[in-house]
Amino acid sequence: MSSPARAPVRPTGAAAARQDAQNGWGLPLLVLIIGMFMSVLDTSIVNVAIPTIQNEFGGTTDDVEWVVTGYTLTLGVVVPITAWLGDRVGLKQLYNLALLAFAAGSALCGLAGNLNGLVIFRILQAIPGGILPVITLAILLRIVPRHQLGAAMGLYGLGIVFAPGIGPVLGGYLVEYVNWRLIFYINVPIGILGALAATLVLPQFPRLAGRRFDALGFLTVGSGLFTLLLATSEGENWGWGSYQVLGLFTYSILSLALFVVIELEVDDPLLDIRIFRYFPYTNSLVLIAVLMTVMYGILFYVPQFLQLVQGWGAFDAGLTVLPQAAVMAVLMPLAGRIYDRIGPRWPATIGLTTVAVSTYLLHTLTVDTARQQVMWLMTLLGAGLGLAFMPILTGGVAVIPLNRTSAASALNNVVQRVSGAIGLAVLTAILTSQRAEQLAGRAALVPANTPTPHIGGPSVPDWLSIYAVYQQTQQHVFVGAIDDLFLIATGISGLAALGALLLRSGPAVTSSAVGSRPTTQQTVPSSDGKFGNDGQPGSQITLPAPDQEGANRPG
């Protein structure tokens, strides 16, 4: 007589919460995206308000730029510690705290009565602003099944890539037609409502209370990234060959090298850099660095071309790049679904090739290029970015085991922030050099006996005509210099397209493909900082099979 069939045992504790989230991850993901989108948007929306803030508060251009620089430098310090905070405080709790703190920091920025106060409040705002993208990705990787990761990451990418694209449009409208303070106030109700929604829909995740804080690791990586970002931010003003900049670069290199040594020796590293042994993850970081450099460089210089050369306002310049953001918003979720079906190799390769083609076409810009042509070229660029970004990012994080996703998320965001800032700084240095070289070349063509204009002389119209020629020359030189930058972007995008050929081809192995997804059971001691299915140390933990052969094995 056969024994009666047993009812399946439902997991309890953290495993049950994770299973419930995986059964319906759409609404939790939407809540996460709203909060993360708000924090990333704030990195670009403020840029268009800098001239208005300077007019209201006074101060030099260098002083006002610290509204942006202070925020960027703080991110470099905060992002590396987020993985430890998530394990210590709890992912859900930390997300809610960061969301409310970001809303409070935004309110303080809107209430600032002087420039120094605004800079201080921006630094306070950057602390939760750096936490939100990292913690969002860490939660996403826990609540979404691996075989649906592409679709989820396509939605997640709206915050990473779409937010910087729409920032100039929204910021330009608020600055020109409403009030610059609203770019901060708008975050307050969103943050409060987002925290309330997160409390209701996000599952609980276990804490790793026994994990010690790696103080030396934090000191070295925090100070190393801070000095690196400071050198790249101020290199143009202080001089790239100045003692200050060279000293900052030297300290940064030594500090980050010491950080690597420390992390390889301590039992509880702040960031587990051993995940770089997973080649698909490391390769994806390199490709992401290229994409962030190209994207931030073009999003910075194309609006400048439209405003400084063609005379468009901030809002109109933002509208010109809006189709690019719209195309990315449409393509990124589609690219995620394509990833789930065919893997990351071909969408990433085709996307990066499209980026290379669009930047090559952009390098033909002239002073008289029609605004509509710029719009179409930016739309083509957006198509390439939207097709490539998510498959690259997802293909990297998909090979990381669940217990290392916090470190992978933190390192991913470090690469995004640092590569964008350093890439833009390097492009700016090249631009300055190219402008000086082209001006010198044009000056050599001017006859030696050409009079020097002195505004207010006896023949004012003559001097004004000479000044007009000087302005036109400056515009032509500026356009020629950014054309050279776009050609450089073409080269690195083309090389990245070759690197994308090393990504995985074909869908990830799932239960639908093999009948049932194999699992392994092992006992995980608490000293390893890992939890079992019930969220308790030292219990049996069920690990899913890797997405590809060798995905959960370093090397």
pLDDT in tens, 198-254: 999 988 887 776 678 899 999 999 999 999 988 888 887 888 889 999 999 999 999
Task: Name the packing angle between helices 187-201 and 91-111 (round to 10°).
Answer: 170
Contact 358, 384 (CB under 8 A): yes
pLDDT at 548: 42
Helical residues (DSSP H) of 79-90, grouped into ranges: 82-89
- Dihedral of the CA atoms 278, 284, 288, 290 (nearest 10)? 100
Whether residue 114 lies inside any domain: the answer is: yes
User: What integer is the mean pLDDT of 492-513?
Assistant: 80
Q: First-to-last CA distance in the chain?
A: 51
Residues 291 and 328 in one domain: yes
Q: Give the residue-averaged pLDDT of 429-436.
A: 82
Check: pTM over 0.85? Answer yes or no: no
Residue 134 resides in a domain: yes
284 and 358 together in one domain: yes
- Does residue 433 or residue 201 have the better pLDDT? 201
Domain count, the chain: 4
- Do 183 and 265 lie in a common domain? no
Question: What angle separates helix 314-342 from helix 345-362, to the nearest 10 degrees?
Answer: 150
- Do 164 and 220 lie in one domain? The reply is no
Looking at residue 445, its pLDDT comes to 56
User: Is pLDDT above 60 for 20?
Assistant: no
pLDDT at residue 465, rounded to an integer: 62
Neighbours of 455 (CB within 10 A): 9
**416: helix, strand or coil:** helix
444-458 pLDDT, tens per residue? 555 555 555 554 555
Q: What is the mean pLDDT of the chain?
A: 80
Residue 243 belongs to a domain? yes
Higher pLDDT, 537 or 457: 457
On the CB side of 130, how many CA atoms lie within 13 Å of its CA?
29
Residues 204 and 218 in one domain: no
Domain membership of residue 535 as a residue range: 517-555
User: Are both 452 and 500 inside the same structural domain?
Assistant: yes
Residue 42 within any structural domain of the chain: yes
Residues 364 and 471 grouped into a single domain: yes
Q: Report residue 287 as tokens.
A: 């490709």
Q: Mean pLDDT over residues 100-120, rounded?
A: 94
Amino acid letter, 82: T
Q: Which of 130-144, 311-325, 445-459, 487-501 has the highest mean pLDDT?
A: 487-501
Per-residue pLDDT at 233: 82
Cα angle for residues 321, 414, 129 (degrees, 5° grid): 70
**Exposed, middle or buried: residue 323 (CB in 10 Å: 0-12, 13-18, 19+)?**
middle
- Can you give the pLDDT at residue 22? 52
H/E element, 271: none
What's 343's DSSP letter?
Answer: -
Mean pLDDT of 193-200: 91
pLDDT at 524: 38
